Structure 1
């Protein structure tokens, strides 16, 4: 490993390298390894929510049992949802965002010239085909005659494409783009986990799409790091449309209100205890919103996410367990 430059403390250099590997904001460092650069394009930090969503869906199916076969199938589904298809999503997003990244995050692999565009395109196709292939394997091993996993993989991949690519490029619209992102992080992996073990029905689809409005709020948090470039290139993110403070309030409101809405729904299906637990998990999120996010969204976005999101994702699993108990 190369030593840090003289004007960069070792601790800061290590932190920058970690951020680079995870695809996080603030990764202002050069890395020579092409495989580390490829990994940076795939943003491993973003895989975790989708892998967790698979668990939530498995729980909501009410059919998951602890066996070696089911654990292996879950891990394969997480591989599909996380490294492969989320990796595809992040890579194609970086490909189409290379101009705006040159303004907001010039150290990213593509605008910095660390990886040629033809290699980026090859990576996009490998991840996409790999994800669809794993989905087909899951269908075959689960005995799905309707190939529901493959359909979900294809549908999710299409959403990822139209989110990033012209002419639709949903991310240009703050509302549509952030909802598409929220649904991709909550509803899609949830459906995959549920369909792997049970029957994906319209109730589960609708409830998780409503839950995805909380994901919209989370997606807005990610817009603050790029507000300067968005404004310069005419992208209508919510911080650009409403201003930083109002957008932060919209984000926090969506996150809190729709989680509480899911809790109310769970009360109506007889899951009062688990619904109460979800409400309790919202309280620390509100606290961290007041402590960090609403006071300075631009400075504290990462700190807020690290503090508050664990409570949100735990609440998702609680909701999945409750839905499974209710036989939804």
Structure 2
């Protein structure tokens, strides 16, 4: 078993969203990054290379039969991760995640525990939340965005708990990310149908699923704009709105051919989405400073 196959199984490209959400949550705490540099490094290690990576290994193991149809060259179905090493790596990485989470205190451990439970419940029978796109995507979005955001906000907060504005943004961006998770399902429609996985494109058809995904992405972000305005964070609300307009333009393009353009939206629309997360985080930070 080569190290390159293990790294491919852990999918470093997927580590970015939770690491970014962690930083956004940390920004809302209002504390100095310079004074908490070690906590930030450990938090980034926890949310990306450990928790997210463990979820990828677990998912690939329980999805090995689906991947044999959709993506036979992936490490497990191709045999580059032999025997039961896929599940072993998922277990090892989950335990490492819990260990570091415990080292970071109560909030770190609880958030890590919930994220690990979500990742196993998402993939593992008989729960296998992935069987239904509504619940499966919600579990992923809560783990990738909400729990990572809350962890960053809690670990750097002087009160050892996230502020209410920060918690609200964590919830709203988690809900919006539900639609982003649906983007990954368009490439796997054939295999999902054969294996009985009821993703939103399978349940609703590609066009309807694309419309639902766009609405789910859009509505919580409109609420974010309203909330920033209610806090008198006008400049941040305007910048966020401009970024959202960019997303909407790409949504129209994606909706016309969702199967062919889901990857395009992931590559260009999602970076705009996460940029909006950062803008909103700084807005909440500024609101806290002004109080």
1:121-140 correspondence to structure 2 within 5 Å: 121-139=87-105
Alpha-carbon offset, residue 206 of structure 1: 4.0
Name which of 41, 46, 50 aligns with 2:9.
41
Structure exhibiting the larger radius of gyration computed from Cα positions: 1
**1-structure distance, mates of 2:212, 2:98:** 35
Name which of 237, 251, 258 aligns with 1:289.
251
> TM-score, normalising length from structure 2?
0.94
What does residue 30 of structure 2 align with?
62
What does residue 73 of structure 2 align with?
107
- 5+ residue gaps, structure 1: 1-32, 140-146
What does residue 153 of structure 2 align with?
194
CA contact (8 A) 2:107 2:154 kept: yes
1:133-148 correspondence to structure 2 within 5 Å: 133-139=99-105, 147-148=106-107
Asked whether 1:185 is paired with 2:144, we answer yes
Asked whether 1:209 is paired with 2:171, we answer yes
User: Cα deviation per residue 1:193-214 (whole Å; 9 max; x = unaligned)?
Assistant: 0011112255533442232121
**1-structure distance, mates of 2:234, 2:138:** 28
What does residue 12 of structure 1 align with?
none
Alpha-carbon offset, residue 189 of structure 1: 0.7
What does residue 122 of structure 2 align with?
163
**1-structure distance, mates of 2:260, 2:237:** 33
User: Cα deviation per residue 1:254-303 (whole Å; 9 max; x = unaligned)?
Assistant: 11221111111121122121112111101111112223x11212112212
CA contact (8 A) 1:60 1:323 kept: yes
CA contact (8 A) 2:52 2:144 kept: no
**2-structure distance, mates of 1:255, 1:117:** 39
What does residue 312 of structure 1 align with?
273
**2-structure distance, mates of 1:191, 1:102:** 36
Asked whether 1:301 is paired with 2:262, we answer yes
**2-structure distance, mates of 1:202, 1:151:** 18
Alpha-carbon offset, residue 234 of structure 1: 1.5
Alpha-carbon offset, residue 137 of structure 1: 2.4
How many corresponding residue pairs?
286
CA contact (8 A) 1:260 1:278 kept: no
What does residue 209 of structure 2 align with?
247
What does residue 237 of structure 1 align with?
199
Name which of 96, 101, 104 aligns with 2:62.
96
Cα RMSD for the two superposed structures: 1.6
- 5+ residue gaps, structure 2: none
**2-structure distance, mates of 1:207, 1:310:** 18
Please give the secondary structure, in 2, of the residue aligned with 1:117. coil
**2-structure distance, mates of 1:260, 1:304:** 19
**2-structure distance, mates of 1:138, 1:298:** 41
> TM-score, normalising length from structure 1?
0.83
**2-structure distance, mates of 1:210, 1:312:** 12
**2-structure distance, mates of 1:209, 1:176:** 15
